Structure 1
Amino acid sequence: MDTPIQVNPSQSSPLHRHQSSLEGVLDFSAELPAERRPYSSPLLVRYTYEYARSQESRDVFLRAFFQSMRLSVDDEDVDLGDTEVETGLRSALFDFADYLLDNFFLLCIRPNRRRPAYHSAIQRVQGAQGFVGTLEQISALRGTSLVRDRHRCVVSRRFDLKEAINRTEHANPMNTLEVARILPHSLTRANPGAPLDPSREAALAILNMFDMGIAYLIKGADIDRPRNALTLTQRLHQLRAIDLPLPRLLAVRSAIAHILHLSAAGAYIDSILWDAEKHGIRPDGSTELGRFVHLGLGLGLAGERVTVV
């Protein structure tokens, strides 16, 4: 197994010097045709870097990126004008973007089972996190969050229907309320007491690229603490375009939403799910759902719309 690389902020100057190199690598004027590349890989990678919340997180991302591209951060002799070199870098970039999409941005649906070289690159940068999955604690979380939010949706201020019945407080506008997590439980869910599988380790490593150390805020049972939840009506729970309790978690969720929008990856995921709901798997093999089947997701949608962000 490769020896993990420990990120030392004091040694980050080569990364700063090579920020321009990163921008040059991502500045591909000719991507794959739209029918083969339904979202922008360079933009997904670029905005994942740009929306990182600290220099340390950006340094982590740059190290993983350059390792995945098989480039040295202090190499001044990369000839981006060489067609063969450019082709190889483009291919590596697309693979790295797919890795980010498959191992993090799709995780709100369900984690995958792959562990390619890009997983090792990110693991080498950060080292094994050793996070352990947790049991569902939604009942306790719901009760705590409802009390904290005074049984009202934090956006619409609608009162919880069940509590209203208990209080006979029918004068208030009522609605059924739900508890929504800011960062999804699928990031840490695993068998009780078992270590996280490689896909979840990868997701948490990528999460740290947005804000170094933030994965510890949802470590173990902490993912079910009220700081990672809020009370919403069912409709607003589905929309999820809201202000959330902990600013640090909100900032990461906002970054994810911007990246998915700006790179068109969000629309790509929505189109796959819409196609799956309407047509299922097409016999001619044209359905992009094949990507999800490859990830071990199967259909598993049961006609239910799944919102990624």
Structure 2
Amino acid sequence: MGSLSSFAKYLVDYFFLPLKALAVKTPQPTPASSQSKTPETAIGTPQRVSNLRQACLIRDRHRCVITRKFDAQEAQKRYKRDRRNIKDDDGLSLLPERDAMAYLEVAHIIPHSLMSVTGEGEWRLTDTKQMAYQILKMFNPDAIHLINGVDIDRPMNALTLTHDLHKLFGNFEIAFSPVGSQPHTYTIDYLESDRMGRIERLPITVTLYLTPDRSIDPPSPQLLKIHHAIGRILHMSAAGDYIDDILYNIEGMESGQVMPNGSTRLDDYVRFRLGGDVNVCILENYLSCYHVLEPC
């Protein structure tokens, strides 16, 4: 039992905590200009993520993949150009939707901030991120190559969502479940069915948009499956609530709020900021022993 408790603590400290903290930090740049570089050649995070946002908007037809709300920023640009002849990407009038639009964001499936780039342009991982990456690799060794280096900012690792749904998705509170063998079709639902803040009416089943020439990759089913698995573990183990409490305390400490009664969790803060070294082989043995890993 002591070994199992230690393993659970390792997972929280070195995987779920940093992953959940990183998941809500997707940068939101303005769309790239028509002369900007492609996602494959862009240099530097702002340009790369800006190109990612543009690619996702094109692929997803400037609509949230869940609610199908049209992007308000793109609608305003088209209205100034076309006035009452304004149309969506399918050639249909947008006028009936003018009161049901939203400002859309690019949401990473696996957090963008998991990868970091140095001032010299070299990719590196801090100790904490390295541990999170190694444990993530255990979920699906065949899928992890999809997010190596700059690949983490490719369309296969991103969705177009409203701000509210981006927050829920990034916090692993909603997830995509594949529907049978139907390609790119998912049921989206809250992982906690009995929740108060039901910002959108879920569940809902959607088929994701694809570009006609398949020039922009659709969201990866493998990465969405990993996201779903992480969300289920966080919810069923109650680790999600525990981590939210830690992150809330960390936010307070960063704003200078340290309670004089000793209730502030300084140990969590220091461990979270400094990271640490944990033997990956030990974690792999734990995962195998407790059947967290599927047989290779």
The bucket for the TM-score relative to the shorter chain is 0.5 to 0.7
Offset of 1:242 from its aligned partner?
Answer: 4.4
Match of 1:228 among 157, 167, 179: 157
User: Where does structure 1 differ by over 3 angstroms across 4 or more consecutive aligned residues?
Assistant: 273-280
> In 2, distance between residues paired with 1:135 and 1:99?
33
Matches within 5 A, 1:40-51: none
CA deviations on 1:66-125 (whole Å, 9 max, x unpaired) are xxxxxxxxxxxxxxxxxxxxxxxx0x43333222212211123259xxxxxxxxxxxxxx
Match of 1:209 among 100, 117, 138: 138
* Number of the residue aligned with 1:295: 272
* Number of the residue aligned with 1:145: 56
- Answer whether contact 1:273 1:289 (CA < 8 A) is retained: no
> In 2, distance between residues paired with 1:242 and 1:93?
27
Match of 2:104 among 177, 180, 195: 177
Offset of 1:194 from its aligned partner?
Answer: 4.0
In the alignment of these two chains, the number of paired residues is 187
List alignment gaps of at least 5 residues for structure 2.
Answer: 24-42, 80-85, 87-93, 177-185, 187-218, 275-296
* Number of the residue aligned with 1:195: 124
* Number of the residue aligned with 2:17: 106
List alignment gaps of at least 5 residues for structure 1.
Answer: 1-27, 29-89, 112-133, 298-309
More helix by share: 1
Alpha carbons of structure 1 residues 156 and 211: separation in structure 2 relative to 1, 3 Å: same
* Number of the residue aligned with 2:226: 252
More strand by share: 2
Offset of 1:277 from its aligned partner?
Answer: 5.5
State which drifts further: 208-217 or 268-277.
Answer: 268-277
> In 1, distance between residues paired with 2:250 and 2:132?
25
Matches within 5 A, 1:33-72: none
> In 2, distance between residues paired with 1:284 and 1:160?
48
- Answer whether contact 1:141 1:226 (CA < 8 A) is retained: yes
Amino acid at match of 2:233: I
Alpha carbons of structure 1 residues 274 and 195: separation in structure 2 relative to 1, 3 Å: closer
- Answer whether contact 1:155 1:242 (CA < 8 A) is retained: no
Sequence identity of aligned pairs in percent? 46
Amino acid at match of 1:153: C
Amino acid at match of 2:72: L
* Number of the residue aligned with 2:286: none
Alpha carbons of structure 1 residues 257 and 289: separation in structure 2 relative to 1, 3 Å: farther
Q: CA RMSD in A?
A: 2.6
CA deviations on 1:199-258 (whole Å, 9 max, x unpaired) are 322222101111123221100111111010010111111111243732111111111111
